[in-house]
């Protein structure tokens, strides 16, 4: 089941996403949060830091599992997703470092690393709330368009469009890693709740295709139409095309 929440702008979207994550932590302080990177969730992480500082929201019992990591980037690299999470959230709150998990992009035995990550998540009892952004081509995590849905944590070859989209974070396109390790769609679909955050006119078309188009591995996010508990939070610009389909929107 999908519930769509529309907010006016990026700030409103970020506040709503942070409120839902904070509610999850309040309801279950030792919850497992699946976390995402990209530019979309940065505002929500800022709001969570504010809630930690001003509202005593504690992450002390929380475990986190991140969706993905670039292959070949060390955690000290500013564009690694481990660095991103430390920089945008972890070092500002009381989460215990040992309880934060990001795939190891430096693993030499990638098959073993993928299996370890799936076993880790299932050993935690699965994910209570999985936060997702949405790639321009419909990817979630780094699960790229493909001819089948990949369920396990896997090594992906990034598509040219994703490399182009992420070039903005690197000095040159040649610096963008060509591969990543990503949580598969299985653990995402097994999460008790999936929270998708979208912002900006550039996402309007893919949001519409993902949530009102056919369920197809060519748009990996479309698999979320089969999930029993998805909350999509977007600003007006990102939801513009979806709104026109007549879908029920909570404002
Ligand atoms: C990256 C990440 C995704 C993210 C997506 C969208 O490729 N692997 O997890 O959702 O890009 O990013 P943005 O939020 O910057 O549009």
Phi, psi of 250 (to 5 degrees): -95, 130
Alpha carbons 64 and 119: distance in angstroms, whole number: 14
Query: Residues 86, 94, 129, CA angle at the centre, nearest 5°?
Result: 75
- Centre of ligand 1 from the C-alpha of residue 4, in Å: 20
Residue 67 in contact with ligand 1 by CB distance below 6 A: yes
Output the six-digit token pair for 32: 């497992």
Burial code of 215-234, b = ≥16 C-beta within 10 A, e = fewer? eebebbbbbbbebeebbbbb
Strands annotated E in 170-215 = 179-182, 193-198
Output the six-digit token pair for 154: 């896997």
What's the confidence (pLDDT) of residue 251?
A: 76
What's the confidence (pLDDT) of residue 110?
A: 97
Residue 38 in contact with ligand 1 by CB distance below 6 A: yes
CB hemisphere CA count around 176 (13 angstroms): 17
What's the confidence (pLDDT) of residue 111?
A: 98
pTM: 0.97
- Centre of ligand 1 from the C-alpha of residue 110, in Å: 22
- Centre of ligand 1 from the C-alpha of residue 152, in Å: 19
Residue 220 in contact with ligand 1 by CB distance below 6 A: no
pLDDT string in tens for the chain (251-residue length): 999 999 999 999 999 999 999 999 999 999 999 999 999 999 999 999 999 999 999 999 999 999 999 999 999 999 999 999 999 999 999 999 999 999 999 999 999 999 999 999 999 999 999 999 999 999 999 999 999 999 999 999 999 999 999 999 999 999 999 999 999 999 999 999 999 999 999 999 999 999 999 999 999 999 999 999 999 999 999 999 999 998 999 87
What's the confidence (pLDDT) of residue 218?
A: 98
Nearest CA residue ID for atom 3, ligand 1: 141
C-beta atoms surrounding 80 within 10 Å: 21
């Amino acid at each position: 089941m999908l519930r769509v929440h529309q907010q006016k702008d990026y700030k409103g979207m970020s506040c709503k996403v942070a409120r839902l994550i904070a509610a999850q932590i309040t309801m279950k302080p030792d919850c497992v949060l699946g976390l995402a990177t990209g530019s979309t969730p940065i505002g929500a992480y800022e709001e969570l830091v504010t809630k930690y500082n001003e509202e005593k929201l504690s992450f002390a019992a929380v475990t986190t599992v991140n969706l993905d990591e670039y292959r070949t980037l060390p955690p000290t690299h500013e564009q690694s997703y481990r660095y991103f999470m430390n920089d945008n959230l972890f070092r500002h709150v009381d989460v215990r470092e040992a309880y934060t998990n990001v795939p190891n992009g430096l693993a030499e035995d990638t098959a073993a690393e993928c299996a370890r990550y799936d076993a880790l998540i299932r050993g935690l009892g699965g994910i209570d709330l999985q936060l997702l952004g949405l790639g321009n081509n419909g990817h979630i995590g780094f699960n790229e368009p493909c001819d089948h849905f990949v369920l396990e944590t896997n090594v992906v070859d990034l598509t040219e469009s994703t490399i182009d989209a992420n070039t903005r974070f690197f000095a040159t396109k040649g610096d963008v890693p060509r591969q990543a390790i990503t949580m598969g769609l299985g653990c995402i679909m097994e999460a008790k709740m999936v929270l998708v955050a979208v912002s900006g006119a550039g996402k309007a078309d893919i949001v519409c295709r993902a949530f009102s188009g056919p369920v197809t591995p060519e748009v990996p996010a479309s698999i979320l139409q089969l999930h029993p508990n998805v909350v999509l939070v977007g600003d007006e610009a990102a939801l513009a095309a979806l709104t026109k389909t007549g879908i029920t929107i909570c404002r």
